[in-house]
Amino acid sequence: MVSAVRNILVMQSGGCTQVINETLASLVIRSKINFPNSVIYGCRYGADGLLGNDIVDLGEVPQSAWQLIRETPGAALGSSRTKLVPANEPVILNVLKTYGIGLVFLIGGNDSAETARHIGQICKDGGVEISVLLIPKTIDNDLPITDHSPGYGSAGRFLSIATMGAGQDALAMGSAAPLSVIEVMGRDTGWLAYASALGKRSDADPPHVICIPEKPVSETKFLHLMETAYSNFGYAVAVVAENCRGDNGPLGASEDPWLVDGFGHEYYESPAKYLSSLLSTHLSVRVRHEHPGAIQRSFQAGLSTTDRNDAALVATAASDMAKQGASDGMVTLIRKSNDPYECGTGFVEIGQIANQVRRLPDEFINSDTLLPTSGFMSYAQPLIGDPLPVYVRI
């Protein structure tokens, strides 16, 4: 139940996306209608702002600014990857009480689900009636139960076009630089890496190999597949998801992670860089190692219109559900149709989301070629929006 004061606190958390600010703007605009007597506050830098009392009044943002905000990459409120601990509980309760918060919205992914669950539990234990809702976003597309996550379609569109372009470059350079290995985000899953194949129309088109965390990467098989593609087409492009592992553990020179974040996620030295080195030695040719990094989630020119619409949809639904008294859960996307694409929304308890990861199902993975099946292509194609460009060769 939302408290009598009914003021609202909005937080953005985790990695940014091209459409996270669309969700923010749509949420604020809808909540002004649904909760006309509430003050809508923004918490700057996620959990860090909550602990540091860094709170702003979003009602002071001019109406004219919201259109620009929704078209801006990054997180307009700032974000955080800080994990809440028991010692933080008195501070959090004090901030929520000080601002008369009766409703908390978190826009985030897996780790944000744990933060939402924790805030809800803190309020229950402290006898404070506050509703907490998670609004999904993540380029990794690894939230369970929901059909997909806002942020994925735009990042996937960028990577599919980038992979097509890398292929054209490698093909044009010929023997000077015929091979490319592109490293993409995704943490524990290969959803994003597989999106790089959405522009692939024939065996000759890139990518020719995709390495995903769901399947151990055989170095021998990787070299064989790339050598075969190079021999057949005169160039080859591989896409490698971060944190890919080999048959015997982490790929690369070190078996120890270079980073373990507050939520326990391990990050290893670049597997793509390691495989690039192996490939260069194996074939005695130049291999480009491409690492677009945060560009994958901030390149607004690659924004998917479908993704933008879904980002607004989950925000509007979250506000409407909160008005009806929903709490301790996450808005989900439910696909109604592929052609034409249509999505509705649902609701799931936060306990089914927090600390859970949805990996690529086996039916989306071709274990022989390491490429996505037609089932994946049908699933992901509508999410990247407008048709991809068509490139030709002389």
| Tens of pLDDT, residues 307-345 | 999 999 999 999 999 999 999 999 999 999 999 999 999
Is the confidence at residue 5, as pLDDT, over 70? no
What CATH fold (topology level) applies to the domain 152-299+358-384? Answer: Rossmann fold (3.40.50)
Is the confidence at residue 155, as pLDDT, over 80? yes
Q: How much is the pLDDT for 4?
A: 45
* Separation CA 94–CA 300 (nearest Å): 38
Same CATH topology for 7-150+302-352 and 152-299+358-384: the answer is: yes
Q: How much is the pLDDT for 1?
A: 39
Smallest CA-to-CA distance from 157 within 272, 300, 334, 366 is with 300
Question: Do 318 and 327 form a contact (C-beta atoms < 8 A)?
Answer: no
What token pair was written down for 216? 């151990």
| Tens of pLDDT, residues 341-388 | 999 999 999 999 998 999 999 999 998 888 999 999 999 999 999 999
SS3 per residue for 317-380? HHHHHHHCCCCCEEEEEEEEEECCEEEEEEEEEHHHCCCCCCCCCHHHEECCCCEECHHHHHHH
Question: E strands, 58-130, where?
Answer: 101-108
Opening angle at CA 70, ends 17 and 19, nearest 5: 20
Mean pLDDT value across the chain: 94
Question: Do 207 and 178 form a contact (C-beta atoms < 8 A)?
Answer: no
Q: Kindly indicate the confidence band of residue 251, based on its pLDDT and cuts at 50, 70 and 90.
A: confident
CB neighbourhood size of 64 (10 A) = 7
Is the domain spanning 7-150+302-352 CATH 2.40.170.20? The answer is: no
Opening angle at CA 159, ends 354 and 231, nearest 5: 125
Q: How much is the pLDDT for 187?
A: 86
| Tens of pLDDT, residues 46-97 | 999 999 999 999 999 998 999 999 999 999 999 999 999 999 999 999 999 9
Q: Kindly indicate the confidence band of residue 258, based on its pLDDT and cuts at 50, 70 and 90.
A: low
Is the confidence at residue 391, as pLDDT, over 90? yes
* Separation CA 375–CA 365 (nearest Å): 9
DSSP state of 296: G
Is the confidence at residue 255, as pLDDT, over 50? yes
Domain boundaries, the chain: 7-150+302-352, 152-299+358-384
Is the confidence at residue 211, as pLDDT, over 60? yes
Q: Kindly indicate the confidence band of residue 254, based on its pLDDT and cuts at 50, 70 and 90.
A: low
CB neighbourhood size of 129 (10 A) = 13
| Tens of pLDDT, residues 354-363 | 989 999 999 9
| Tens of pLDDT, residues 266-313 | 777 789 999 999 999 999 999 999 999 999 999 999 899 999 999 999
Q: Comparing 355 with 39, which gets the higher pLDDT?
A: 39
* Residue whose token pair is 């009602």: 59
* Separation CA 279–CA 348 (nearest Å): 45
Q: Kindly indicate the confidence band of residue 265, based on its pLDDT and cuts at 50, 70 and 90.
A: low
| Tens of pLDDT, residues 24-38 | 999 999 999 999 999
Tell me whether residue 36 is exposed, middle or buried, using C-beta atoms within 10 angstroms of its C-beta: 0 to 12, 13 to 18, 19 or more. Answer: exposed
Q: How much is the pLDDT for 253?
A: 59
Q: How much is the pLDDT for 287?
A: 97
Q: Quick one: what percent of the chain has pLDDT higher than 90?
A: 86
Name the pTM for this structure: 0.95
Q: How much is the pLDDT for 185?
A: 95
